[in-house]
């Protein structure tokens, strides 16, 4: 990280490059090979540009059971954990941490914890990390925090994890609270969670998502390729990209498609929930999962984009990454509302009912004033992931310097 970045504290500027020199990151994120590139991936890739980074694939938040499938999955992860960490490229390595099922059997939790710490310490050694910052993007490995010899612990909270479907709410809430308390720094992406985190840790900072603005701006390039799966679809096209999970309002999409049979509804992403209702509709096209690199090409085919979330606790506290990605494409957007989405109300159409959603799409597809696409793109042009990570590292370097000074003073005493 360039030395020009710094953060004023106590009248002196912290030299970020100097403070972070020779410090690596042990980064607990979600599945590295997940279909969607999440904020977890974006931040890790940028950290690895200047810091040796070990990306730890953490077990899913869903509690593993005793089924044959879960046991086989646990054994595969165990075998992966025994291998040397994979060198992804540059300063980035990747390893996995297994979890044995049968958690209710006495001693299994302790065994999981002990083996995980051993496996991560071994991976740190093999990837050349000696001094480190532990960095948690998911809460369930909380038992690792402050147990890796780290000089600083960061909790980068990007979601209301306990509100995810299928998780053990009590366990995830407990892990989340533990990390929030023991971390030296907490960064929070959803604005609705900032106050709760501040109550647990005074070193809490609001850090909204960034966007790969230049990447998604390709949606405005008339010479960009059109994916074969979209080339013959009739317009107008109402588009969506991202995983189709339980928090996507399938019934709303089906209702919209039934109301406007002359429109095409193009959904790009893995269907992780029942979409049979949509498959039955002739004007709904499910393109399936597509590489991140091609998303702007799919978005180029959109005449309007939509964010059709269910209005539940998870969505209320979400900071949807696709909001900024859609804005960066310049396409008109109709969305449900939450605190983060509301911040962009002047650039998008916010709907509070099915009827408002349909009316908003009608207006978008009827035509827009000149410059509307450019204004949307400009709204997020300076909110890039590069800038977000630079700002976060400024705070990290300052806090690390403070913690180091306190430790030195304690040793001197």
Domain with 203 in it: what CATH number?
A: 3.40.50.11010
Phi first, then psi, for residue 133 (nearest 5°) are -110, 130
- For 339, the token pair is 């605190």
End-to-end CA distance of the chain: 33
Paired tokens of 187:
């960064």
For the chain of 413 residues, list the mean pLDDT of each consecutive stretch of 10: 35 70 93 77 94 86 51 61 86 82 60 85 94 95 93 95 85 93 96 94 95 96 89 96 93 98 97 95 96 95 97 85 96 95 95 97 95 97 96 95 72 57
pLDDT value at residue 103: 54
C-alpha to C-alpha distance for 5 and 364, rounded to whole angstroms: 41
> Same domain for 135 and 157?
yes
Domain count, the chain: 2
* Coil, strand or helix at 132: strand
- Among candidate residues 248, 296, 239, the one with its CA nearest the CA of residue 267: 239
Question: CB within 8 A of 246, min separation 6: which ones?
Answer: 165, 166, 272, 273, 310
Domain assignment of residue 282, given as a range: 213-380
Same structural domain, 234 and 201? no
Distances (CA, A) of 125 to 23, 81, 147, 151: 13, 14, 15, 16
What was the pLDDT predicted at 4? 34
Residue 5 lies in a domain: no
Q: Cβ(253)–Cβ(284) under 8 Å?
A: yes
Here the tokens at position 124 are 């740190």
Q: Are residues 65 and 76 in the same domain?
A: yes
CA–CA separation, 221 and 223 (whole Å): 5
Residues 193 and 318 in one domain: no
Question: Looking at the domain assignment, is residue 151 inside a domain?
Answer: yes
Find out whether 160 and 318 touch, Cβ atoms under 8 Å: yes
Which residues, listed in sequence order, are joined to residue 185 by a DSSP beta bridge? 154
Q: Which residues of 365-403 are buried (b: 16+ CB within 10 A; e: fewer)?
A: beeeeeeebeebbebbeebbbeebbbbbbbbbbbbbbbe
Q: Cα(42)–Cα(215) distance, rounded to whole angstroms?
A: 13
Pairing of strands 304-307, 185-188: unpaired
Q: Return the pLDDT at 368.
A: 92
Buried b (16+ CB within 10 A) or exposed e, 143-157: bbbeebebebbbbbb
In DSSP notation, 50-111 reads TS-EEEEEPPPSSPP-SSHHHHHHHHHHHHHHHSPPEEEETTEEEEE----S-TTSTTHHHH
288 φψ region: left (φ > 0), alpha (ψ -120 to 50), beta (else): left
Distance of alpha carbon 295 from alpha carbon 309, whole angstroms: 20
Q: Is the peptide bond before 236 cis (omega within 30 degrees of 0)?
A: yes
CB burial string 116-133: b at 16+ within 10 A, e below:
bbebbbebbeebebeebb
Q: Same domain for 103 and 150?
A: yes
Whichever domain contains 354, its CATH number is 3.40.50.2000
Residues 218 and 274 in one domain: yes
Assess if residue 102 is contained within a domain: yes
pLDDT value at residue 7 = 34
Q: What distance lies between CA 143 and its chain's CA centroid?
A: 21
Of 388, 286, 291, 375, residue with least CA distance to 333: 375
Same domain for 337 and 244: yes
Look at the block and give the residue holding tokens 């909380």. Answer: 142
Pair of tokens at residue 341: 């989405």
401 and 342 housed in the same domain: no
**200 and 270: one domain?**
no
Residue 9 lies in a domain: no
332 φ/ψ angles, rounded to the nearest 5 degrees: -65, 145
Local structure of 204: helix, strand or coil: strand
Query: Is there a single domain that holds both residue 40 and residue 120?
Result: yes
234 and 376 inside one domain: yes
For residues 126 and 134, is the Cβ–Cβ distance under 8 A?
no
Query: Quick one: how many helices (H) and strands (E) in the chain?
Result: 16, 16
Residue 271 and residue 341 share a domain: yes
- Is residue 179 within 8 Å of residue 139, measured between CB atoms? yes
Place of tokens 């099922």: 101
pLDDT at 287: 96
Of the candidates 46, 48, 33, 154, the one whose C-alpha atom is nearest the C-alpha of residue 96 is 33
């Amino acid at each position: 990280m360039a030395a020009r970045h710094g953060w004023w504290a106590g009248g002196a500027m912290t030299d970020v490059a100097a403070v972070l020199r020779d410090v690596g990151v042990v980064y607990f994120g979600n599945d590295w090979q997940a279909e969607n590139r999440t904020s977890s991936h974006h931040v890790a890739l940028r950290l690895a540009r200047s810091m040796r980074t070990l990306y730890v694939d953490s077990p899913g938040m869903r509690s593993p059971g005793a089924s044959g499938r879960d046991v086989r999955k646990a054994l595969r992860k165990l075998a992966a954990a025994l291998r040397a960490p994979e060198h992804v490229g540059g300063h980035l390595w990747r390893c996995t941490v297994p979890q044995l099922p049968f958690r209710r059997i006495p001693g299994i939790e302790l065994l999981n914890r002990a083996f995980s710490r051993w496996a991560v310490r071994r991976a740190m050694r093999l990837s050349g990390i000696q001094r480190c910052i532990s960095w948690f993007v998911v809460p369930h490995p909380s038992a690792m925090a402050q147990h890796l010899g780290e000089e600083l612990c960061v909790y980068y909270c990007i979601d209301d994890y306990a509100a995810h479907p299928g998780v053990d709410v009590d366990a995830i809430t407990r892990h989340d609270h533990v990390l929030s308390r023991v971390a030296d720094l907490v960064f929070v992406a959803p604005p609705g969670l900032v106050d709760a985190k501040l109550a647990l840790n005074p070193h809490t900072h609001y850090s909204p998502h960034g966007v790969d603005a230049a990447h998604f701006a390709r949606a405005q390039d008339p010479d960009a390729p059109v994916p074969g799966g979209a080339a013959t679809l009739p317009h107008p096209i109402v588009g969506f990209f991202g995983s189709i999970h339980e928090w996507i309002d399938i019934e709303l999409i089906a209702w919209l498609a039934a109301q406007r049979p002359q429109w095409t509804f193009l959904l790009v992403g893995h269907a992780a929930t029942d979409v049979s209702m949509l498959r039955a509709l002739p004007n709904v096209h499910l393109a399936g999962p597509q590489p991140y690199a091609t998303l702007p090409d799919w978005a180029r085919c959109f005449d309007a984009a939509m964010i059709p979330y269910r209005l539940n606790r998870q969505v209320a506290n979400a900071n949807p990454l696709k909001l900024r990605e859609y804005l960066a494409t310049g396409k008109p957007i109709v969305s449900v509302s939450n605190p983060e989405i509301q911040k962009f109300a002047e650039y998008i159409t916010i709907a509070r009912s099915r009827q408002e959603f349909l009316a908003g799409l009608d207006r978008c597809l009827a035509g827009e004033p000149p410059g509307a696409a450019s204004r949307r793109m400009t709204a997020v042009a300076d909110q890039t992931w590069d800038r977000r990570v630079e700002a976060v590292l400024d705070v990290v370097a300052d806090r690390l310097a403070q913690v180091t000074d306190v430790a030195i003073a304690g040793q001197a005493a």
